Amino acid sequence: MTRVQPQSLPRRYTLSLSCPDSVGIVAAVSSFVADAGGWITEASHHADEVNKRFFMRQEILADSISYDIDAFRSRFASIAHDFSMHWRIADSAKKKRVVLLVSKQEHCLYDLLARWQSQELDIDIPCVISNHETFRGLVEWHGIPFHHVPVTATNKTEAYAEVARLYDEAQGDVMVLARYMQVLSPELCARYHGQIINIHHSFLPSFIGAKPYHQAFEKGVKLIGATCHYVTEELDQGQIIEQDVNRIDHSDKVEDLVRYGKDIEKAVLARGLRYHLEDRVLVHGKKTVVFK
């Protein structure tokens, strides 16, 4: 199929880091970039006074740097060592490879495919993995490989080993659970720590299990919402990337709640994924710093 071509944007490097807070971090990093001829187009930083930790993100025009990204990494390493930094630098010329996992609910899959097709999300989708055959036709119509990996009570070890194999084969950068209704194994979560993003309704743990919107309707809730978070070994306890809510009232039917909930889930997942792709999310313990 034909995809919409995006307007060309200047190539940029994104430097993100966290380290123990101290005097001179901003000056050291900014001086390093300036000495390389770097033109900083966006800069954000945050000091966590409770944990005494510092977070920073900078976007730099790639063509303004007098050497390539590998040399940048090599030369910046000494500053990173001096300040005990956890850091990374990404190149916008290298598209992130997003592997989607889905079950039988279509709304998040449809939304992400539309954003990919229109280049609103400038990513590669090397494949879609599902425990059902439901969306094979849709995915393959988009020209994307579809892999059916059934998951049962007796084959989970083998199934998740196959998911890992497909993800590695696709050279994935991030795995998105676009309403994938299976609990990933602790081994898979640990292996791809910080690389798996999930979306779910914000009712957990109040309305756990089947039909959460029906349960919420019966309780007469006044707000519904969604949470985008990283997947960890502890179910639905990963670091939160993005959330949103929608106010409802007594006139809304359960069908309205389901519809509102799907709309919020799509928007929150897309925003959370974008923040991750743009290296705007820095994780510290059970929390995140998200530079928007």
For the residues 37-54, what does the mean pLDDT come to? 96
Residues 166-194: pLDDT tens digits? 999 999 999 999 999 999 999 999 999 99
For the residues 106-123, what does the mean pLDDT come to? 97
pLDDT at residue 234 in the model: 81
| Helical segments of the chain, H only | 25-35, 69-82, 107-117, 136-141, 156-169, 186-191, 212-219, 254-277
Q: What is the pTM of this model?
A: 0.92
- Burial environment of residue 142 by CB neighbours within 10 A (0 to 12, 13 to 18, 19 or more): middle
Residues 207-225: pLDDT tens digits? 767 788 888 888 888 888 8
pLDDT at residue 203 in the model: 66
pLDDT-above-90 percentage for the chain: 84
pLDDT at residue 217 in the model: 85
Q: Which residues are CB-neighbours of 47 under 8 A, at least 6 positions away?
A: 21, 53, 54, 55
> Is the Cβ–Cβ distance between 181 and 103 less than 8 Å?
yes
CA 276 to chain centre: 4
Residues 251-278: pLDDT tens digits? 999 999 989 999 999 999 999 999 999 9
Residues 227-245: pLDDT tens digits? 999 999 887 788 999 999 9
Q: List, by residue number, the catalytic residues.
A: 236
Between helix 212-219 and helix 254-277 the angle, nearest 10°, is 120
pLDDT at residue 174 in the model: 98
What is the overall mean pLDDT for the chain? 93
pLDDT at residue 5 in the model: 55
pLDDT-above-70 percentage for the chain: 96
For tokens 């539309």, the residue is 114
pLDDT at residue 16 in the model: 98
Asked if omega into 150 is within 30° of 0 (cis), the reply is: no
Residues 86-101: pLDDT tens digits? 999 999 999 999 999 9
Q: How far apart are CA 112 and CA 108, in angstroms?
A: 6
For the residues 288-292, what does the mean pLDDT come to? 96
In this model, does residue 2 exceed pLDDT 60?
A: no
For the residues 73-81, what does the mean pLDDT come to? 97
